Amino acid sequence: MRLGRYETLQPIASGGMAIVHLARALGAGGFERLVAIKVMHPHIASEPEFVAMFLDEARLAAQIRHPNVVGTIDVQEEPLFLVMEYIEGPSLHVVLRELRRRNEKLDVGVVLRVLHDALLGLHAAHEQKGSDGAPLEIIHRDVTPHNILLGVDGVSRITDFGVARAASRLSSTRGGQVKGKLSYMAPEQFHGQDIDRRVDVYAAGAVLYEALSGQQLFKADTEAALMGQIIRGVMTPLRAAEPRVPQAISDVCMRALSREPNARYATAADLADALEDAARIAGTPIATARAVAAAVKALAVHEPPPAIPGPSGVRVVPPAPVSGSGQHAPLSGSGKRAAVPAPAPDVDESPSQSTSVGTLLAPAVPLPQPSAKRSWKLMVGVTTAIGVGLGVAAFVGTRPGDTEPAAQPAAPASAPSAPSVATKPAEPENTASASEPAPSSSTAAASPSASASAKKPVTTAAPGGNRPPPPSRTAFRPDDL
């Protein structure tokens, strides 16, 4: 899709409100940059409430400038979309899902680094002030593994302020409406009480619990049962669920998950500091960014972005598995990946075509060219088929009764008469047989008797001995054609 100076390449994430595309920004002098474009789903793009939330997200996120927050670059209308910094790397949700599939867990030091980075980004959002210097009082309200991105550089970032609450927010939450994911909500969010940044501290504790233990904090068959568990605050201590976690780190996590807001850490920065102290006491150092990058790379859950088409209009297929095939694109004779011509910029392609991963990464396999021997055989086969077809058509077009030459119209009176020969069965009464055209010269020479008999029309006697009137020159039966 072409959206102004932006061109989408492939979808990379989807949520309840919007879908996120990998795209490139185009500029003067051949400027190109990979970005992430967030586009609202069509079925909610016309709802004023969702449009206001979308604009709020753009306005709030654009004011937060921190290394651990995904930056917002631009916002456009008609259609409405948000342009964000592209972070190459998977979300924490994807990493944890792959680890569960392998029955493995992240190293404790790596988890501490990921949460430490996310907490610093959260604190920056909580502390953000407006242009007038007044605090914006931003509350994320959706701190989950889905919204923590693990970059290939080893730095983790918080993203998606779509349901954030702020004092200066344009849209307002309806009474009794709860926003966010149930499994990571604090108990006070279900009571309709005023909330503050400590609901984000609780959610960060729930993410820490899940990342270290490999399982969600609460599990239930229904949403009502899940809400009941959260409100009661009944949970298994982290160290009991995962014995490898040091007691000091488990204590910090369980305090962040306290049922009463006053018992939790007051800010996200306080929780980050507490994790640092607990790691030092337990002798478990927090991992470096390089260690996080190595852990993400080892899981191989992230596909590198496709190569950006160059000035020549050729897109080089990156060395990544083709979607669903598990194979790589074929190599050319020079040892480089085969090139696929990029679609023309002005071609109006459907979104399903222009943003399909499989379309962008499909290998360019040249069509097989027929050999000279195959071409000769093909020509002979086609010629034979045409000849047989013509013969069959000629055979089908000849009726058995048409082998006799056709008769001319009635001959003059002076013509010599010949015995009448009936070439067709007698027609019904009161019906005269139609005259037939004269035979060709070759046929007449081959059968003189037949030509002589054809000169006299064949008639059938009418009742009472009266002869029928001579047939008209235009009175003919279709069977005699």
Angle at 294 between CA 143 and CA 305, to 5 degrees: 75
Sign of the CA dihedral running 278, 279, 280, 286: negative
> Is the Cβ–Cβ distance between 176 and 192 less than 8 Å?
yes
Helix count (H) and strand count (E) of the chain? Answer: 14, 10
> Is the Cβ–Cβ distance between 292 and 133 less than 8 Å?
no
Q: Where are the alpha helices (DSSP H) in 317-356?
A: 351-354
Q: How far is CA 268 from CA 213, 231, 256, 292, in A?
A: 21, 22, 10, 21
Q: Residue 475: name the closest of 418, 435, 446 by CA.
A: 435
> Is the Cβ–Cβ distance between 305 and 88 less than 8 Å?
yes
CA distance 424 to 440: 20
Check if 221 is active-site: no
HSE-CB at 52 with a 13 A cutoff on CA atoms is: 10
Among residues 142, 194, 251, 479, the one annotated as catalytic is 142
> Is the Cβ–Cβ distance between 166 and 138 less than 8 Å?
yes
Sign of the CA dihedral running 454, 460, 466, 469: negative
**CATH number attached to the domain at 2-299:** 1.10.510.10
Q: Partners of 85 in the beta sheet?
A: 35
For the entire predicted model, the pTM comes to: 0.63
DSSP state of 413: T
| pLDDT per residue rounded down to tens, the chain (481 residues) | 887 889 999 998 887 788 999 999 988 888 889 999 998 888 888 888 888 888 888 888 888 899 999 988 888 887 888 899 999 999 999 999 999 999 999 999 999 999 999 999 999 999 998 888 888 889 998 999 999 999 999 999 999 887 777 665 554 444 445 556 888 999 998 887 788 999 999 999 999 999 999 999 988 888 899 999 999 887 889 999 999 999 999 999 999 999 999 999 999 999 999 999 999 999 999 999 999 999 999 999 987 776 655 544 444 334 333 333 333 333 333 333 333 333 333 333 333 333 322 233 333 334 344 444 455 555 666 666 677 666 655 555 555 544 444 444 444 444 444 444 444 444 444 444 444 444 444 444 444 444 444 444 444 444 445 555 555 555 555 555 4
**For the chain, domain boundaries:** 2-299
